[in-house]
A and B are shown apart, each in its own frame.
Chain A
Amino acid sequence: MFVYLGRRLNLLFITLLILCIASYTLAFLFPGDPLTNLSGNPTTSDDQTQQLRMMYALDNGYIAGFWQYLKLTLSGEWGQSLTSQNPIFSDICQFLPASLELSLYAMAVSLLIGIPLGIVAGLNHRRYTDMGILSVSLIGFSMPVFWLALLLILVFALQWGGLPMSGRVSLIYDIPHQTGFMLVDILRADIANKQQVLMDALHHLFLPTLALSIVTSSLVIRLTRRSVINVMGSDYIKAAYAKGLSRTQVFWHHGMKNALLPIMPQLAMQFTVLLTNAMIVEVIFSWPGIGEWMIQAIYQRDFPAIRGGMLAVSALVVIVTISVDLLIRMIYPLSKKQLHAQV
């Protein structure tokens, strides 16, 4: 176990290092002055330039420069945004939780919908229930998320009018920023009519979460269904029937665990897909998350912000993937069989 933990942490460390190298290189590959790209400070005076060059150790070669960059990155000095002149790190800390919140809820919803439906479909393999669920999931799977989001806005926000179209919470409420997770912030905030604000935030959450979770839950359905079918056809399920256990006993004691555990990594992988989709959805719903923020940065050629956003999002994805890996390793005995990576 500790060997495995070491290997995974090693992988995490190396991947993050490579990400840092990539983001440092970007500063030189982007058009414009590398110093401006790194610091985000379009300096005018020679004095200031000199000071910044010292700070980023630009004159001491790439290696020393990178070392300096690494130190600055770890201490939270990610430079400033070119357009707003805000520190990038604090911007990310503000916007990333919004995206995370949206993705987490969407993930939870898709697992809650996808796994039971997938199990039902898998248990009724080749019956009408299975075919029905499968075709619905195929439809959900093949709809592009941006189009779906627009469609949802059209139906629920414009025609029906019951749900808000954009933002995280109505503008009339002022929620102080604490954790960045809106629902948590509301619960912790010291405001009147908390209930009402909470309902409003949930209303705002509804459409983006729906748009995201339709695609993901159809993927989850397909994964779960396939795994359930495989497991229910296996020898040990037959052996369990031969022991004289009932269908429900067989499924809950032997089927469920074996069907769900092996697909956990694949399910976790959906989170990264989800995060990508979340960025698109954020733009459409004007959700103040990292996706919106990064796309704004791209529009405005705010290179320091692009660099920082890329680093933050990819680091998040890597950390999530590796922690899920470790988690599965701890709870799924069969995975201990393979210490080393498999082809």
Chain B
Amino acid sequence: MPLLDIKNLTLEIDTPLGWVKALDKINLSIDSREVRALVGESGSGKSLVVKSIVGALSDRWKVTADRMNWKGQDLLSMSDSQRRSITRSEISVVLQNPATSLDPSATLREQIEESIADSQLSKGWFWQRRQQRREISAQQLHKVGIRDHDLCLGSYPHEVAEDISQKFALAMALVSNPKLLIADNPTMGMEPTTKVQVLRLLAKLNKTRELSILFVSHDLLAISAMADTMTVLYCGQTVESGKMGQLKRRPLHPYTKALLDSAPSFRRDLPPKAALSSLDGTIPTLQHLPIGCRLGPRCPRAQKECVKMPDVRRIHDHHYACHFPLHRDKI
């Protein structure tokens, strides 16, 4: 049974032009011990998927889904306190922009200690518990590569550097020993050495502690090194999902191909000084979403049928949503 199973997740946002579907029938599932990558360009709704999983959305937005199960329990229909206890102990999240997702008026120590559940503490008296909280948070900081834990924990968020706060956010997410870590761009803005360090930490936790990871990023190199499976998003729609190797070797959706082609490091045949390939145009804004397959206006293979949303088709573990996938012959 998958750990997290999402089927047809739709998120509607109230705009002056009426309700707009920012996420349109997203499918995503994460098995235990799996590292799944969620890929897409900026504005494709990756962060919205993350926020709807953990319920950190504005009340005025409508989230609907056919299924949003955590170990078989429906997250959307359960009571608030049940859902909270799941997000508290089993799912952890590192949101994008960790610097702004830390409370500016509390020290980092207060914030990380807040994430340590009482059940993790073994000792009885409150001073012992406090001591234990301190030890746990210091250990956790060492794990993510912050050496001077006292300095870091005593600071306020505006006093630490961007990459430190990024690592700190990761430490804070991992401190509650979650089953699933949702990491929204966890290595953004880090220097390459620390990035490698953090990715190695995640990979190690995945192996040793059986931590499942939903890795949201546009860093294709990091993803291909880490992830087992990948889901590609475009403009709030799931475009293709499947095993990492399969997807890399033989993408079926034109968008996936364009995305992989746009990363020069994946193309061995790229001659020097050749033009880099990219799709024409830009991702549409929320106000001007095309109907049907949202890639339509930019797709090299688009036809009349593309104004209807294609059904999700499946070849073994490989899901794609396209009327004219690449493995069919020339149109």
A236 touches B104 (CB 8 A): yes
Q: Which residue of A lies closest to B60 (CB)?
A: A126
Q: Are B56 and A239 in contact (CB under 8 A)?
A: yes
CB pair B104 A334 closer than 8 Å: yes
State the Cβ distance, A198 to closest chain B Cβ, in Å.
Answer: 40
Q: Which of A45-53, A98-106, A185-193, A252-260 contacts the other chain?
A: A252-260
Stretch from A59-67, A141-149, A240-248 contacting the other chain: A240-248
* B156 pairs with A242, CB closer than 8 A: no
Residues B56 and A245 in contact, CB atoms below 8 Å apart: no
CA A333 to CA B51, docked complex, whole Å: 29
Question: In the complex, are the beta carbons of B100 and A334 less than 8 A apart?
Answer: no
A233 at the interface (CB under 8 A from B): yes
In chain A, what residue has the closest Cβ to B85?
A: A244
The CA of A257 and the CA of B101, in the complex, are separated in Å by: 15
Q: How far is the CB of A338 from chain B (nearest CB, A)?
A: 10
- Whether the Cβ atoms of B104 and A242 lie closer than 8 Å is no
Contact in complex: B114, A235 (CB < 8 Å): no
Give CA–CA (A243, B175) in the complex, Å.
11
**Does A238 belong to the interface (CB within 8 Å)?**
yes
Query: In the complex, A97 Cα to B295 Cα: how many Å?
Result: 72
- Taking a contact as CB atoms under 8 Å apart, the answer to whether B105 and A245 are in contact is no
Q: How large is the interface on B (under 10, 10 to 19, 20 to 34, 35 or more residues)?
A: 20 to 34
- Residues of B within 8 Å of A86, CB to CB, are none
How many inter-chain residue pairs (CB < 8 Å) link A and B? 72
Whether B100 lies near A241 (C-beta < 8 A) is no
CB distance from A122 to the nearest CB of B (A): 13
B58 at the interface (CB under 8 A from A): yes
The residue among A126, A245, A254, A257 with the most chain B CB atoms within 10 A of its own CB is A254
What is the distance, in angstroms, from A294's C-beta to the closest C-beta of chain B? 41
Which of these, B60, B85, B101, B105, contacts A235 with CB under 8 Å? Answer: B101
For chain A, the bracket of interface size reads 20 to 34
Tell me whether A242 and B87 are in contact (CB under 8 A): yes
Taking a contact as CB atoms under 8 Å apart, the answer to whether A244 and B103 are in contact is: no
Q: Which residues of A contact B57 (CB under 8 A)?
A: 238
Interface residues as binary, B81-99 with A (CB distance below 8 Å gives 1, 0 otherwise): 1001111110001010100
The verdict on B222 contacting chain A, using a C-beta distance below 8 Å, is no
Q: How far is the CA of A243 from the CA of B178 in the complex (A)?
A: 11
Looking at the assembled complex, report how far the CB atom of B90 sits from the nearest CB atom of chain A, in whole angstroms: 9
The 5 nearest A-B residue pairs measured at CB? A244-B88, A239-B101, A244-B87, A238-B56, A242-B54
18 of the cross-chain contacts (CB-CB < 8 Å) are A234-B100, A235-B95, A235-B101, A236-B102, A238-B56, A239-B95, A239-B102, A242-B51, A242-B56, A243-B88, A244-B84, A244-B87, A245-B84, A253-B106, A258-B105, A261-B105, A333-B107, A337-B158
Using a CB–CB distance below 8 Å, which chain A residues touch chain B?
Answer: 126, 233-236, 238-246, 253-254, 257-258, 261, 332-334, 337
